[in-house]
Amino acid sequence: MAPTLIYIFGGTGDLAHRKLIPALFNLYIDGYLPGPFTIVGVGRSKIEESTYRAQMRKSIKEFARRSELTTKYWSKFSKNITFQTHDLNSDKSYKEMAAGWKAFQEEHGKESQIIFYLSVAPQLAPVIAKRLHGHRLCHDPKRSRMVFEKPFGHDLASAQELNVMLGKLFREEQIYRIDHFLGKETVQNILALRFANALFEPIWNANYIDHVQITAAETVSIESRGSYYESSGALRDMVQNHVLQMLCMVAMEAPISFEADEIRNKKLDVLQALRHMRPEDVHRYAVRGQYGPGWSKGKKAAGYRQEKAVDPQSNVETFAAVKFYVDNWRWKDVPFYVRTGKTLAAKETLITVQFRPAPDYAFPDEAAHTWRPNRLVIGIAPKMDIRLRFQAKQPGPSMTLRPVDMVFSYASRDEEDCQPEAYETLLQDVIEGNPTLFMRADQVEAAWKAIQPIMEVWGHKPPVDFPNYTPGSWGPEDAEALIARDGFNWATLPEV
Ligand code: NAP
């Protein structure tokens, strides 16, 4: 790998502390960072390099997957970390960075590459892009890349505008739009499960699959991110990106190769096949919720409207459930139910594929009580496993049945420790120049397009019942009704 200079814009921020620097540390331990590399944290804060390093060491101790190795590797790793105070609106900063890049190349050779990770508020992205271009910091498409954090745009129009602007300044292959869910082992494993096994693909269609569910539930509130959440909400924050990407992995056609564009084309096909919702139908397909005050783990918990930096009259949703249809041959009339929310009953992200019920004519009437359709449940996080539910005969003289789970688990503690964190996988891909797991411009826009009608209707019609769920519940009653109307109920993981 070529010598690499990595600028982390927002180097003093939450993401850099909790995810980026710990991920780079783990990549270093595993030998995945290039020979010579330098990480430059950037922020407006005036801090000394030694202070910054000390802060990063603390973050690694607290958040890195193998924090116990901090002492062993820190002194070597930290030699590659530095900090620079810059205002990213100011030209002067980019002049200094251009000088830094020139010096890096002089020291390490012309093959060196430069990466800018924009871990800053999305409003800064356009000005940063213009300045990077103006100062020729990304003029070589083979040796310079930019990583854009989510949210990429605020709606379809703003995402298009940003894409057009970036398209004028850079090549698409330099632009890495990150969706960290795609870096998760369990999400990537969906491709292996579907396309490396002869078992599933022949029945992976509307003839055999009844419906699909995706749950991305969090137990935490919005915590200290009130100002961000007020301009976002559950639909923008989770559905537009992570949830729809998981849906694409389940619904996409088999790729003919694992080339970046081949995978991305197949996913784009799914997004483009999502049934368009007419405004008058949105209430039948989508449900929103907001948590009120209540109790969480025996302690009083504030409602969303009482959180810091939140408008006491806010109508922003902290829960969203949507029924999608993928209008193509494979998925004709198969509903995809998705839900996501804050302060819910359990922290779990899972995908449930429910197969059509088998005919039960031959079995005695008692069997009907325990008759369950087959289900494939893919635990994405924090539980990482795959469960196949099937019917088995209960031991004894009569033909009574019971559902049993066959489980593949990444469970042993040791194995879990070996799993790279999503940000490790993704940062390694950026360094190696592999965009497969990143969103292309057209994918991002197609995802915004899919939820645009919901955003518009919700934006125009204030909710009449907010707050409508309590912390520790599974969200508003309407979300239960959304799926119950079709004769199903939301799946959760079995409690251990
Ligand atoms: P944050 O904690 O608010 O950090 C923002 C960073 O931006 C700080 O380091 C701040 O540095 C820097 N900054 C702001 N204005 C600047 C300027 N004019 N010049 C230079 N630096 C400036 O934000 P965050 O939570 O790390 O999030 C960063 C990005 O990642 C956002 O786009 C967010 O949506 C996305 N993201 C975050 C998470 C997460 O878990 N945190 C998850 C997914 C996506 P100073 O304070 O030193 O100026």
Q: How many domains does the chain have?
A: 2
- Three-class SS of residue 83? strand
Band of residue 36 on the pLDDT scale cut at 50, 70, 90: very high
Q: Which of 121-125, 282-286, 399-403, 434-438 has the lowest mean pLDDT?
A: 399-403
Residue 440 has pLDDT above 60, yes or no: yes
What's the rounded mean pLDDT across residues 346-364? 92
**Residue 87 annotated as binding?**
yes
Look at ligand 1, atom 44, and give the residue with the nearest C-alpha: 150
Same-domain check for residues 133 and 245: no
Ligand 1 centroid–CA 119 distance in Å is: 5
Q: Is the pLDDT of residue 266 over 80?
A: yes
3 state SS of 208: coil
Of the candidate ranges 279-288, 370-379, 410-419, 475-484, the one whose mean pLDDT is the lowest: 410-419
Closest by CA to 176, choosing from 260, 239, 255, 233, is 260
Structure confidence at residue 71 (pLDDT) = 85
**CATH number for the domain including 45?**
3.40.50.720
Residue 94 and residue 16 in one domain: yes
Q: Is the CB of residue 220 below 6 angstroms from any atom belonging to ligand 1? A: no
124, 151 contact by CB (below 8 A) = no
Active site residues: 242
Rounded Cα distance between 145 and 147, Å, is 7
Question: Which residues touch 223 (CB under 8 Å, ≥6 apart)?
Answer: none
The pLDDT of residue 471 is above 60: yes
Q: Domain boundary residue among 149, 169, 195? A: 149
Among 91, 126, 149, where does a domain finish? 149
Contacts of 394 (CB under 8 A, 6+ apart): 370, 400, 401, 402
Supply the mean pLDDT for the chain: 94
How many CA atoms lie less than 13 Å away from 353 in the CB half-sphere?
23
CA of 297 to the centre of ligand 1 (A): 30
pLDDT for 464 beyond 80? yes
Residue 464 within any structural domain of the chain = yes
One domain for residues 87 and 232: no
138 and 190 assigned to the same domain: no
Q: Give per-residue pLDDT as tens, 444-463.
A: 999 999 999 999 999 999 99
pLDDT at 297: 77
CB-CB contact of 338 with 380 (8 Å): no
Could you tell me if the CB of 121 is within 6 A of ligand 1? yes
Give the residue-averaged pLDDT of 85-91: 96
- Within a domain: 491: no
For 26-36, what is the mean pLDDT?
A: 92
Contact 388, 381 (CB under 8 A): no
pTM for this model (two decimals): 0.94
Q: What does the pLDDT average to over 193-208?
A: 96
Domain-embedded: residue 168: no
CA of 145 to the centre of ligand 1 (A): 19
Q: What is the pLDDT of residue 299?
A: 85
pLDDT band (50, 70, 90) for residue 495? low
Alpha-helix residue ranges (DSSP H) falling in 30-175: 49-63, 70-78, 91-108, 125-134, 156-169
**Structural domain boundaries, residue 320:** 185-420+440-485
One domain for residues 131 and 222:
no
> Both 348 and 481 in a single domain?
yes
Q: For ligand 1, is residue 209 a contact (CB within 6 Å)?
A: no
Candidates 379, 389, 266, 377; CA nearest to 326 is 266
197: left (phi over 0), alpha (psi -120 to 50) or beta: beta
What pLDDT sits at residue 233? 96
Mark whether 303 and 413 lie in a shared domain: yes
Read off the pLDDT of residues 267-312 as tens digits, 9 standing for 90 and up.
999 999 999 999 999 999 999 999 999 987 788 999 999 999 999 9
Instruction: Judge whether residue 359 has pLDDT over 60.
Output: yes
Residue 416, pLDDT > 80, answer no
Per-residue pLDDT, 411: 67
Q: Answer whether residue 326 shows pLDDT above 90.
A: yes
> For a pLDDT cut of 90, what percent of the chain falls above it?
85
Contact of 119 with 15, CB cutoff 8 Å: yes
Rg (CA), the chain: 24
The DSSP string of 419-436 is SPPHHHHHHHHHHHT--T
- Listed residue (379, 426, 380) closest to 242, CA to CA: 380
pLDDT-derived band at 110 (thresholds 50, 70, 90) equals confident
User: Annotated binding residue at 347?
Assistant: yes
- Which pLDDT does position 371 carry in this prediction? 86
| Residue 490 falls inside a structural domain | no
Kindly report the protein residue whose alpha carbon is nearest to atom 7 of ligand 1. Answer: 10
Q: Which of 47, 120, 178 to mutate to test the pocket of ligand 1 (most atoms within 8 A of CB)?
A: 120
Q: Are residues 246 and 388 in the same domain?
A: yes
Same domain, yes or no: 260 and 372: yes
CA 325–ligand 1 middle distance (angstroms): 36
pLDDT digits (tens, 9 = 90+) for 371-383: 889 999 999 999 8
Q: What is the pLDDT of residue 496?
A: 56
- 301 and 416 belong to one structural domain: yes
Task: Answer whether residue 155 shows pLDDT above 80.
Answer: yes
Confirm whether 348 is domain-assigned: yes
**Based on the domain organization, do 290 and 337 belong to the same domain?**
yes
Q: Is residue 74 part of a domain?
A: yes
Q: Which percentage of the chain shows pLDDT scores above 70?
A: 98
Cα–Cα distance between 485 and 66 in angstroms, integer? 47
pLDDT tops 70 at residue 225: yes
Is 352 among the domain residues?
A: yes
CATH code at 293?
A: 3.30.360.10
Least-confidence region, from 87-91, 131-135, 235-239, 360-364: 360-364
Average pLDDT on 348-375 reads: 90
In a domain, 91, yes or no: yes
pLDDT above 80 for 414: no
